[in-house]
Amino acid sequence: MKFGLTPRSPALASGWDPFDDMKRMHERLNRLFGEGEEAEISGPGTVSPLVDIKEKENNIIVTTDLPGVDKENVSIDISDNKMWISANTHRESEEETEGYLMRERTYSKFARAFNLPSAVKEEEAKAKLEDGVLIITLPKAEIEEKRRIMIE
């Protein structure tokens, strides 16, 4: 009587799902490598733009794409060697043809948080938004060298 019978495996009997384990592992890795902080500032419908960070001799240059965003709608914050970039955009369009009226509204939010590779002079930072590309130039802070204290 083989019809209708399926072999039972121990994994199915215990309710173990390998995808649940993979999801938990992914969450743990995100917490370990600090990816969770970005989730705090982003929510549903928030886009996390890619960021290029270049470390030069005296500066750190951060570049990111923010298409369709005006400079008045961009917020850049720096604290304790961490940078937060957020931006909002809002567009409305209206089109009337042959007695029909079509209105569209679009809202977008961009948000990104990350650690900077070295200490910077926050008060001397400069930012420029041109053609949807945000370029932030951060002068590096001079790191004090260790001083050895002689024991008398």
pLDDT in tens, 66-102: 888 889 999 999 988 899 999 988 888 888 888 888 8
145: in domain: no
111: in domain: yes
Helix or strand (DSSP H, E) at 30: helix 18-32
pLDDT in tens, 13-68: 566 778 888 888 877 776 666 554 444 455 566 778 889 999 998 999 999 998 88
Q: Which residue has the higher pLDDT, 3 or 16?
A: 16
The C-alpha atoms of residue 115 and residue 82 are separated, in whole angstroms, by 4
Domain holding 64: CATH number? 2.60.40.790
The beta-carbon contacts of 139-144 under 8 Å, at least 24 apart in sequence, are: 139/58, 139/59, 140/58, 140/59, 140/60, 143/118, 143/119
CA distances for 16 relative to 20, 22, 136, angstroms:
8, 12, 48
Least confident of 7-16, 122-131, 139-148: 7-16
122: in domain: yes
Q: What is the mean pLDDT of residues 113-131?
A: 91
How many domains are contained in the chain?
Answer: 1
Q: For residue 6, what pLDDT is reported?
A: 52
Q: What Rg do the C-alpha atoms of the chain give, in angstroms?
A: 25
Q: Which residue has the higher pLDDT, 38 or 132?
A: 132
Tell me which residue range forms the domain holding 79: 14-139
Count of H-run helices and E-run strands, the chain: 3, 8
Task: State yes or no: pLDDT of 3 exceeds 80.
Answer: no
150: in domain: no
